[in-house]
Amino acid sequence: MTTHTGRSTARKLTSKGQETRRRIVAEAAQLMYERGISETTLEDVRAAAGVSGSQIYHYFADKQALLLAVIEHQTEAVLELQAPLFERLDTMAGLREWRDALVDHQRRIQCRGGCPIGSLGGEVAESNPHARFAVASAFLRWEEAIRTGLRAMSDRGELDADPDDLALAVLAALQGGLLLTQLQRQVKPLEVALDAMLDHIQSRRKDT
Segment 179-208, tens digit of pLDDT:
999 999 999 999 999 999 999 999 999 865
Condensed to tens digits (0 to 9), the pLDDT of residues 106-131 reads 999 999 999 999 999 999 999 999 99
Condensed to tens digits (0 to 9), the pLDDT of residues 71-103 reads 999 999 999 999 999 999 999 999 999 999 999
Give the separation between CA 177 and CA 207, rounded to whole angstroms.
Answer: 29
Question: What is the CATH code of the structural domain delimited by 7-203?
Answer: 1.10.357.10
Q: H helices then E strands: how many in the chain?
A: 10, 0
**Count of CB atoms within 10 A of residue 125's CB?**
13
Give the separation between CA 176 and CA 85, rounded to whole angstroms.
Answer: 21
The confidence score (pLDDT) of residue 4 equals 45
**Amino acid identity at 139:** F
Confidence of residue 2 (pLDDT cuts 50, 70, 90): very low
Give the separation between CA 24 and CA 27, rounded to whole angstroms.
Answer: 5
Yes or no: say if 2 and 61 are a contact pair by the CB < 8 Å rule: yes
Domain residue limits, the chain: 7-203
> How far, CA to CA in Å, does 193 sit from each of 85, 103, 157, 164?
19, 11, 26, 18
Give the separation between CA 28 and CA 120, rounded to whole angstroms.
Answer: 12
**Amino acid identity at 114:** G
